[in-house]
Amino acid sequence: MSAASWSEFELIARLTAGLPLGEEVVVGVGDDCAVLDLGGSRLLLLTCDSQVEGVHFTLRTSSPEEVGHKALAINLSDIAAMGGEPRYALVSLHVPRHCPLEVLEGLYAGLRQEATAARTLIVGGNVSGTGAAETLALDITLLGESERGRVLTRAGARAGDTIFVTGSPGDSAAGLYSLLDPDHPYPPAACERLRAAHRVPKPRLAEGRLLSQLGPQIVTALIDVSDGLSGDLGHICERSGVGACIEVARLPISAELRALAATLGRDPLAWVLHGGEDYELLFTVAPGYEEAVQARFAAAGAAPITPIGQVTEAASGLRLRWPDGREEPLPVQSWDHFASPGQH
């Protein structure tokens, strides 16, 4: 039986089943970061992620600098999804024999710029060849920290909580679509912004910190939208033991996404719900605190947030509610490395 016989998340569960955990492990496998308690007033956050040429990026659709930016940004987003602050990064490059030096220098230029913006230090890593393979890859391990009692996880949502999302999910997927099918006469301004959302995502670090400061009694669960809104909402529901109902009429759809979808004659909803790689924050808020959270975001000049639904009892599953009141199951169509061909 090959690895491709399993879904990505089934494979992770199989490989990590029964891993021993020490007393210092506050959060292990199954969230955006591992969390360790090494004593003192702050907890250590650890995450890692890879970018593989032909799977996560191509140099036909992104510059080396953009690839470097994104490689670090997606790890920074994991720290944001725990409400933490990034600190130190390790970068490993897997370099094909014939890779031009200019490509590697471009990658590192993007990495440096993203690290500087996030006040993060690149402190080490590794460089290795790929043998006969001609595929460039980057692996990044990122360390961060958070105050004790302020770490937010996927596991605290409760029935009656309100579901919020930052920004406008779906933009990255639409941008990728336009990059992979570049000959269509897209609206130029809309296309430019959507492609930028895909090539150089902006990790919501300030917003994650704001949510952390509100605390887990108010912000009950948090995740970043990397695999798609439906898939990442499913992760919250699975870890929290709840269901959810999304209001279609409330979903924030950017003007640029609407314009591109109209040009193609497509419904933008599939991109919004299942697109992935937006790196927005999806979070749940305890009843009665919704207006206070919105006011805090507005006062801080943070990204716009939109209430898009409610947490329900687990038996309800994931559902969509249409403007006419009709409800139907919300299918989970998150990215899966072993079921989803082509570029993420």
The 10s digit of each residue's pLDDT in 203-255 is 999 999 999 999 999 999 999 999 999 999 999 999 999 999 999 999 999 99
- E strands within 192-342? 219-224, 243-247, 281-285, 305-312, 318-321, 327-329
- Which of helix, strand or coil describes residue 37? coil
Pairwise CA distance, residues 304 & 210, whole Å: 13
Strand partners of residue 234: none
162-329 adopts what CATH topology? Phosphoribosyl-aminoimidazole Synthetase; Chain A, domain 2 (3.90.650)
Q: With contact defined as beta carbons under 8 Å apart, do 311 and 158 qualify?
A: yes
Average pLDDT across the chain, whole number: 93
> pLDDT digits over 128-182, tens only?
999 989 999 999 999 999 999 999 999 999 999 999 999 999 999 999 999 999 9
φ/ψ bin of 163: left (φ > 0), alpha (ψ from -120 to 50), beta (otherwise): beta
Q: With contact defined as beta carbons under 8 Å apart, do 164 and 282 qualify?
A: yes
CA distances from 101 to 64, 95, 104, 146, 272 (A): 11, 10, 5, 37, 38
> Could you tell me the residue ranges of all domains in the chain?
3-147, 162-329
Q: With contact defined as beta carbons under 8 Å apart, do 235 and 154 qualify?
A: yes
What are 134's two structure tokens? 């001609």
3-147 has CATH 3.30.1330.10 classification: yes
pLDDT tier at 341, thresholds 50, 70, 90: very low
Could you count the other beta carbons within 10 Å of the beta carbon of residue 131?
9
Question: Is 342 or 291 the better-scoring residue by pLDDT?
Answer: 291
pLDDT at residue 22 greater than cutoff 90: no
